[in-house]
Copies of this chain bind each other. A is one copy, B any other.
Amino acid sequence: MKTIGIGLAGFGTVGAGVYENLERHRDLIAERSGYSFDVRRIVVRDPLKKRDVQATSGLFSKRWQDLLEDPEIRVVVELMGGTTEAYDLTVAAIQSGRIVVTGNKALLAERGAEIFALACEHKVPVFFEAAVAGGIPIIQSLRDAFVGNRIESVHGILNGTSNYILTRMQEAGMDYPEALAEAVQLGYAEADPTLDVNGWDAAHKAIILAALAYGFWVDPSTVRVEGIDRVSAADIHFAKGLGYAIKMLGSVRVIDSLVEVGVAPTLIPQSNVLASVNGVFNAIAVRGDLVGDSLFYGRGAGRGPTSTSVIGDLVEAAHILDAPRGTYGFSSHGLYGNNRPSDEIIGSYYLRLSVDDKPGVLARIAGLLGEAGIGISSVVQPESIAGVETPLVLMIHEARYGKMRETLAKIISLDCVKGSPVLFNVESLT
């Protein structure tokens, strides 16, 4: 039995969970892994704050530098969040030769390229299972289990809060503000749920999945990211009538040697297994050239699932602490060095307009689409429902997103088109 000294930065839901569960399952983890983990210091903003998980008060410190001044601390667990102090700590930990375990998706998505270049240079592994879908071993699976596969696509429901909201809208017919309020009340959404509902939490995760699948870091500013605040009960209803569910879908795929990454509310066929992933659950579908289709499903967030991922990483870190290290944990394999700008990505779309109920309206809209070379696969004029007068739904196949937006701008300037249009992607996932 070997004892590994670790330093913990952050003692929120996840940090406190890691501490608590390392204690609670000390014997289990030791029996299963051969290691015992000794939390030697915990960095927090306010050491005197009252907490729901108790730790020896002498462990707390306000200075992250303390973690690096203790030679017995060999693994730094970064669960502070943010991209400033967390970045400084991560860089300093790598430079000191310590293995880093992190759950910080924003940090990796924004500065992953620098961090992993430094990690490779110092031969220091950085583990980050907790950064994407806590409790679902998708990082380990993409990196290790599927190492022999050319990854064709990764599609995921990557944010439990937005999936809970969409599920309630779908199942209980709630509108967005009502479902959001319920999620906040039940504790499924933070008091400030901005990153959850605006798509950026999922986008950070999609960028990390793309990096694992394709070996380079996509610039976040080139990724199309749309939130769920534009999804209405009316569109969920219309989509259902067409055989689709609306999900906040993170998409990563390679087409003609360019990687495409995006996160947006997306219509997916009701028959697809991702359509039945409901509530706060996450799921990730991976397609590899050898393995075919596979799917991973689980809670994706919360104290227990996310500390599961951190503890898994700690054991992996322990196994290789004294091993000669290659680029283990991550290598920029650089198979594809570029991603396709979002305007160039070809997609299929659900376009819902409110129009004047007069003859000739469809002809004018179809004319503009036709001029742009955009084909319509079907047109539905559903009954008006609350908040949506005279709706017109067009299903559009295979159009470049930039062209689609350009044409949509022309369509909404027609005097027969009223109110805000709704444009969602449609993914057949076949």
Contacts and interface: CB of A to CB of B under 8 A. Distances in A.
A323 B326 contact: no
Contacts of A215: 31-32
B334 A326 contact: no
A288 B307 CA distance: 12
A331 interface: yes
- Copies of this chain in the oligomer: 2
Interface in A312-327: 312, 315-316, 319-320, 322-324, 326-327
Interface core residue of A291, A293, A327 (most chain B CB under 10 Å): A291
B296 A296 contact: yes
A149 interface: yes
A123 to B, nearest CB: 11
A309 interface: yes
Nearest to A30: B333
Given A135-B291, A308-B288, A32 B333 contact: yes
B31 A333 contact: yes
A143 to B, nearest CB: 8
Interface in A174-230: 215
A342 interface: no
Nearest to A324: B322
B315 A144 contact: yes
Classify chain A's interface size: 35 or more
Interface in A264-321: 273, 276, 288-299, 302, 304-305, 307-309, 311-312, 315-316, 319-320
A315 B327 CA distance: 12
Nearest to A329: B319
Given A129-B145, A292-B299, A316-B144, A334 B31 contact: yes
Given A276-B273, A323-B322, A136 B309 contact: no
Given A31-B334, A32-B215, A150-B25, A295 B298 contact: yes
A87 interface: no
A148 B326 contact: no
Contacts of A2: 326
A291 B319 contact: no
Interface in A137-169: 137, 140-141, 143-150
Contacts of A289: 304
Interface in A101-158: 129, 135-137, 140-141, 143-150
Contact of A146 (B288, B291, B308): B308
A324 B28 CA distance: 22
A365 B276 CA distance: 41
A277 to B, nearest CB: 9
A319 B129 CA distance: 18
A293 B278 CA distance: 13
Contacts of A296: 294-297
B294 A34 contact: no
A293 B299 contact: yes
21 contacts: A28-B335, A29-B147, A32-B147, A34-B328, A135-B291, A140-B144, A140-B145, A144-B312, A145-B308, A147-B312, A273-B276, A288-B308, A290-B305, A291-B299, A291-B304, A291-B305, A292-B298, A294-B299, A296-B296, A322-B323, A323-B323
